[in-house]
Amino acid sequence: MFTIEHEFDATVITLVDEGAPSLQEDVVIHGFEDCVTIEQYDPRRDAVVKITLSTHQLRELAAALNLPEGVYRMTRKG
């Protein structure tokens, strides 16, 4: 299950793990104009862990999800 909310300066996507017995904490993704942050609560640290990706890194991640193993470089068209 996931939710999408549009806030003033970001789009917020929350991914909820409804799977098997080893459930993971919710993942919250904040999409800003110049970056994306990904947050998840870590019960071992009792803290939220945050990762920030530039929009370029996010585009590369999206492309990588559909490619076979290897090394790639994205180039701009035109």
Q: Helix/strand/coil (H, E, C) string of the chain?
A: CEEEEECCCCEEEEECCCCCCCCCCCEEEEECCCEEEEEEEECCCCEEEEEEEEHHHHHHHHHHCCCCCCCCCCCCCC
pLDDT value at 16 more than 80:
yes
Query: Residue 34's pLDDT is what?
Result: 95
pLDDT value at 78 more than 80:
no
Query: Residue 50's pLDDT is what?
Result: 98
Confidence of residue 65 (pLDDT cuts 50, 70, 90): confident
> Token match 């904490």: residue?
25
pLDDT value at 70 more than 90:
no
Q: Side chain identity at 66, as an amino acid letter? A: N
